[in-house]
Structure 1
Amino acid sequence: MSDIGSIMAARNAIIQGNAALRAAVQRSPVDAQRGAQFATALVNAQNAPSTLRATSTGGTPPPETAGPVPGFASTLSSLLARVNTGLDAEDTAAEAYERGETTDIASVMLTQQQASIQFEATLQVRNKLLTAYKDIMNMSI
């Protein structure tokens, strides 16, 4: 029981740290303006036709039978939704075990470990994206 409490405390600390980072970024007006410019560029790139993107980079246009290509934002959103579903399943499994509805501790621990790994991987991807964003913003034109 204390292990679950410590895991949940660590998870809450990570979430609070993430919120603190977001608040720090939002406090800086220059970073907020750059973030808005980046978001606008991302939306414009996502809304551009896929043939325009392929031909402007010198590549060949994708075949028309391929269907719509999901954009970066939609891919990221679906991955975050999957991680959130895993965290919800972990919470549900832990609560069911605490109430005595299930006695299979192995499946509960497996679910918790899967959710933890998904969350940590997502956190690492977020860190890499932030680093890449900062590097791009610091490039001189």
Structure 2
Amino acid sequence: MSGVGPIGGGGGIQQILAMRQQILDRSQILKDVHQATQSGAPAALVQPQGGGFGGALSNALQEVSDTQGRAEGLSAAYERGEVTDIAKVMLARQEAGVAFEATLQVRNRLLSAYQDIMRMGV
């Protein structure tokens, strides 16, 4: 009776808990950055490690690519019979789909902002 349960077994719950912890960690980092900017910390300490907006965008695209790679790997492993937890495979595919859709929306917003700027009179 392994892997049978309402959320796909213990692995699914562990993944959800790990994702929750990542969200909490990122939230704490954002709070720390916000407090540092309000306390007048030097700008060099507040800068993201990736080098600003371009670095953040590059990191986000890399994470989406990694998520899609994991989903493809799990799908291929399921097709070969190596992974038997279909819920895990479907969750990974859904996560990759949501990540791609979010990336697509960001691209659309950036493109729209660029077009608005180009239409502005000088």
Q: TM-score range by the shorter chain?
A: 0.5 to 0.7
Matched ranges for 1:1-141 at <5 A = 63=42, 66=45, 68-69=47-48, 70-141=51-122
Q: Per-residue deviation at 1:122? A: 0.3
- Distance, in Å, in 1 between the alignment partners of 2:69 and 2:77 is 12
Higher relative contact order (CA 8 A, sep 6+): 2
TM-score by length of 2: 0.62
How many residues align? The count is: 81
- Distance, in Å, in 2 between the alignment partners of 1:65 and 1:77 is 20
Q: Per-residue deviation at 1:132? A: 0.3
Provide the identity percentage.
48
Alignment RMSD (CA, Å): 1.7
Q: Per-residue deviation at 1:66? A: 1.6
Gaps of 5+ in 1: 1-60
Structure in which a larger fraction of residues adopt helix? 1
Superimposed CA distance per residue, residues 7-27 of structure 1 (whole angstroms, 9 cap, x where no aligned partner): xxxxxxxxxxxxxxxxxxxxx
TM-score by length of 1: 0.54
